Amino acid sequence: MPTVSVKRDLLFQALGKKYKNVEIKRADEEFDELCFEFGLELDEITSEKDIISREQGDVRAAGASDVVLYKIDVPANRYDLLCLEGLVRGLQVFKQKIEAPYYRRVGATDGKPQRFIITQETAVLRPHAVAAVLRNITFTQERYDSFIELQEKLHQNICRKRSLVAIGTHDLDTISGPFTYTAKAPDDICFKPLNQKEESTATELMRLYKNDSHLRHYLHIIEDEPHYPIIYDSNGVVLSMPPIINGDHSKISLKTKNVFIECTATDLTKAKIVLDMMVTMFSEYCAKPFTVEEVEVVCPDGSTCLYPDLAYRKELISGDTINQKVGIKESAESLARLLTRMCLKAEVTGKADEIEVEIPPTRSDVIHACDIMEDAAMAYGFNNIARTKPKTYTIANQLPLNKLSELLRLELAAAGFTEALTFALCSQEDIADKLGKKISDSRAVHISNPKTAEFQVARTTLLPGLLKTLAANRKLPLPLKLFEISDVVLKDDTTDVGARNNRRLCAVFYNKIPGFEVIHGLLDRVMQLLDVKPSRDQGYYIQAASDSIFFPGRCAEIISHGKSVGCLGVLHPDVINRFELTMPCSALDLDIEPFL
């Protein structure tokens, strides 16, 4: 969930609220309530100074601003609420202070739109691009900051850290179209990037940005490509090298009047959404508010498209459907009013209880009627919906394997053993080297991206976890008697994913003496509980076996109804040492699935 921070004073000013200092606490509370009603969460009331002081200490915070900031949690797909402009617009519409604006794409004044030409070279890299012009915009410091901040927020969220979409904004009066979006070898690209004094080749830039705390995160997107994406104007001036950096030449400032916005992308749908967001949010400050000048994008095949999309879509939905899914009984008119407050302009059509809902370009999150219902429910107030009991009548069943596990757990505790709870993930060493086995001989599944060795594999036996639990509790009085009934994971070709869980029972006895008879007695007790008699052919028996885990001559295999179901024995001193234990230890490892 992205967090948006806005200055309280600016927000209240924009919401048309005035307050005296004494009322400020009440104002905070009121805003908190408003956020809740609107599906947002006022996460924190803070200041830049507080934030720096908390993260880096008071000394660093000394000079920082103590202007009050609201940190607001915004639902992940509500890109229209990621800046002050959108937030205020949304809230004002919700409170019925204003009507939702209608966003319009308009032609260029001279009738000739700016052209943005995509060449074939981009196809393998970032094949898509969209663009638009904000004409006669007036920036102030706050508006400018918000404009930059929104780009960053979009980059981090919908743009997936610039991998899907990258935004470039330019002072149109410093460049001249048509613009060409192409790709070139890094050494053939040379320009002065944003806020640098010298021209550099792309190869040099990539080296330079390796140490840039911000940009280094994006280098990997194109780093290993033979060609890098690049945008030129008609005079060969570099606008940007997406998704890394803009050119210094066309950078925008407070004085910029006409803004050229381009978005390059690997996902066209997202590029359109991102461009729509940028222009719908900031066209408010244009001479003709909420109008955006079109740009003609020419694809490599010669086809052309006009952007921004700014598409409005209409959905028809019956009031009854909404009422039925939400669990309320509102008239179609009332529902239409609720939806309109959510920036989804709605009207009853007159045909039965049908409602026509217009989804604006700012609401890219509304992709199905169920999203409309959700907004209706939110505007109605979740807390106003009556709680009802589902009439669904069902008979409960336990999963037989879990039922067996639960029953056995209780009995093992009754037998004097204490339940451990260990991790399902572990290191290769835990299940192989430390047990005197080779990892290649195991049926372990391997994790491809573990952050540490603790998460290399899923366990194939519960024993290492219990031994590590013993090691962490060596100071407790002896004997230590532990058990765990849980799943291990084994590779298995017969399942769709190539692996399956296996429910095991593992127990250890740790004392000054090995206590084989104790662990053997536990096996006998477990078999008694499972109603399996000691018998060669009709029940269970144990027979001598050898395993690197156990001391030679002190290991036995458990055979039940002719099948091997586990083993028990006295641990090998090497195993004891490798798990940093000092006393003899005996163990039981049993597959309980055959006893279902």
Partner 1 sequence: MADAGLAESVLERLEKLDCGVDSQDVASVLSVDHQAIVGAVKSLQSLGELISAEQRSSKHWELTAEGKEIVEQGSHEARVFNAIPTEGLSQTDLMKLPSGKVGFSKAMSNKWIRLDKGHESGPRVFRMVESIEDTVQDKLVQVQKGLTGKLDEKEKNELKKRKLLSEVTVKSYWLTKGPSFSTTVTKQETDLTAEMIASGTWRDKKFKPYNFEALGVPPECGHLHPLMKVRTQFRQIFLEMGFTEMPTNNFIESSFWNFDSLFQPQQHPARDQHDTFFLSDPAVAKDFPMDYLERVKKVHSEGGYGSQGYKYDWKLEEAQKNLLRTHTTAVSARMLYKLAQQGKFTPVKYFSIDRVFRNETLDATHLAEFHQIEGVVADYGLTLGDLMGVLHQFFTKLGLKKWVEVGNSGVFRPEMLLPMGIPEGVSVIAWGLSLERPTMIKYGINNIRELVGHKVNLQMVYDSPICRLDS
Using CB under 8 A as the binding rule, the residues of this chain from 281 to 310 that contact partner 1 are: none
Residue from 413, 453, 544, 596 binding partner 1 (CB under 8 A): 413
CB of 368 to partner 1, least distance (A): 4
For residues 332-391, which are near partner 1 according to CB under 8 A? 367-370, 377, 382, 385-391
| Site residues (CB under 8 A) for partner 1, limited to 128-167 | 160, 164
Residue closer to partner 1 (CB basis): 332 or 377: 377
Question: Reduced to 3 states, what is the DSSP secondary structure of residue 443?
Answer: coil
* Single residue of 240, 250, 264, 422 touching partner 1 by CB under 8 A: 422
CA 564 to chain centre: 44
**Residue 55 binding partner 1, by CB under 8 A:** no
For residue 95, which amino acid is it? K
Whole-angstrom distance, CA of residue 295 vs CA of residue 311: 15
| Continuous segment of H or E residues that includes residue 506 | strand 499-510
User: Which of residues 133 and 482 has its CB atom nearest to partner 1 in the complex?
Assistant: 482
59 binds partner 1 (CB under 8 A): no
352, two tokens? 């039965």
Q: Would you count residue 415 as binding partner 1 (CB under 8 A)?
A: yes
Shortest Cβ distance from residue 70 to partner 1 (Å)? 20
Our CB check for partner 1 shows the closer of 17 and 329 to be: 329
Smallest distance, Å, CB 104 to partner 1?
A: 22
Residue 513, interface with partner 1 (CB under 8 A)? Answer: no
State residue 257 phi and psi, 5-degree precision: -105, -35
Whole-angstrom distance, CA of residue 557 vs CA of residue 565: 8
Range in contact with partner 1 (rule: CB under 8 A) among 61-69, 299-307, 333-341, 416-424: 416-424
Going from the C-alpha of 361 to that of each of 35, 103, 152, 274, 452, the distances in angstroms are: 22, 8, 20, 10, 44
Measured N-to-C along each axis, helices 84-94 and 332-341 cross at an angle, to the nearest 10 degrees, of: 160
Going by the DSSP 8-state scheme, the letter that residue 25 receives in this structure is: H
The dihedral region occupied by 148, where left means phi > 0, alpha psi between -120 and 50, and beta the remainder, is alpha
Q: How far is the CB of 144 from partner 1 (least distance, A)?
A: 29
Contacts of 62 (CB under 8 A, 6+ apart): none
Interacting span for partner 1 (CB under 8 A) from 115-123, 146-154, 476-484, 580-588: 476-484
d(CA 167, CA 151): 7
Residues 387-406 that bind partner 1 (CB under 8 A): 387-399, 401-402, 406
Stretch that binds partner 1, among 88-96, 338-346, 494-502, 532-540 (CB under 8 A): 494-502
Q: Is 267 in the site for partner 1 (CB under 8 A)?
A: yes
Residue 28 CA to residue 212 CA, distance in Å, equals 38
Rounded to whole angstroms, the Cα distance separating 410 from 315 reads 57
In the complex with partner 1, the residue whose CB is nearer, 51 or 445, is 445
Q: Which helix (H) or strand (E) segment is 255 a member of?
A: none
Q: Is 328 in the site for partner 1 (CB under 8 A)?
A: yes
Give whichever of 202 and 489 is closer to partner 1, judged by the CB atom. Answer: 489
CA-angle at 76, arms to 72 and 78, nearest 5°: 80
Cα–Cα distance measured from residue 260 to residue 239, given in angstroms and rounded to the nearest whole number: 10
Residue length, the chain? 596
Cα distance between residue 586 and residue 432, in whole Å: 19
Q: Judged by CB under 8 A, which stretch of 62-70, 229-237, 486-494, 558-566 contacts partner 1?
A: 486-494
| CA distance linking residue 341 with residue 325, whole number of Å | 20
Residue (189 or 412) nearer to partner 1, CB: 412
Nearer to partner 1, 253 or 392 (CB): 392
Cβ-proximal residues to 206 (8 Å cutoff; 6+ apart), any chain: 186, 219, 223, 244
Contact residue for partner 1 among 95, 251, 409, 520 (CB under 8 A): 409
What is the nearest approach in angstroms of partner 1 to the Cβ of residue 208? 26
Element (H, E) at 381: none
Q: How far is the CB of 336 from partner 1 (least distance, A)?
A: 19
- Of residues 429-468, which lie at the interface with partner 1 (CB under 8 A)? 445-451, 454-455, 458, 465-466, 468
Smallest separation, CB 226 to partner 1 (Å):
22
DSSP state of 387: P
- Cis ω for the linkage preceding 479 (within 30 of 0): yes
Which residue's structure tokens are 């260990």? 422
Residues in 307-326 at the binding interface with partner 1, rule: CB under 8 A: 313, 324-326
233 versus 358: smaller Cβ distance to partner 1: 358
Cβ(196)–Cβ(138) under 8 Å? no
> What's the min distance (Å) between Cβ of 512 and partner 1?
17
Output 128 or 345, the one with its CB closest to partner 1: 128
Residue 67 or 124: the one with the smaller Cβ distance to partner 1 is 124
Compute the least distance from the CB of residue 485 to partner 1, in Å: 9
Q: Rounded to the nearest whole angstrom, what is the least distance from the CB of residue 488 to partner 1 in the complex?
A: 9
Query: Which amino acid does the sequence have at 154?
Result: L
Count of residues in contact with partner 1, rule CB under 8 A = 85
Terminal Cα-to-Cα distance of the chain (whole angstroms):
44
Nearer to partner 1, 157 or 174 (CB): 157
Residues in 195-234 that interact with partner 1 by CB under 8 A: none
Q: For residue 163, give the amino acid letter.
A: S
Work out whether 503 is an interface residue with partner 1 (CB under 8 A): yes
User: Of the listed pieces 23-31, 195-203, 290-298, 410-418, which binds partner 1 according to CB under 8 A?
Assistant: 410-418
Contact segment (CB under 8 A) with partner 1 among 25-33, 110-118, 133-141, 495-503 equals 495-503
Count Cα atoms within 13 angstroms, Cβ side, for 465. Answer: 26
Q: Give the helix ranges, DSSP H, for 262-397.
A: 268-282, 319-326, 332-341, 369-380
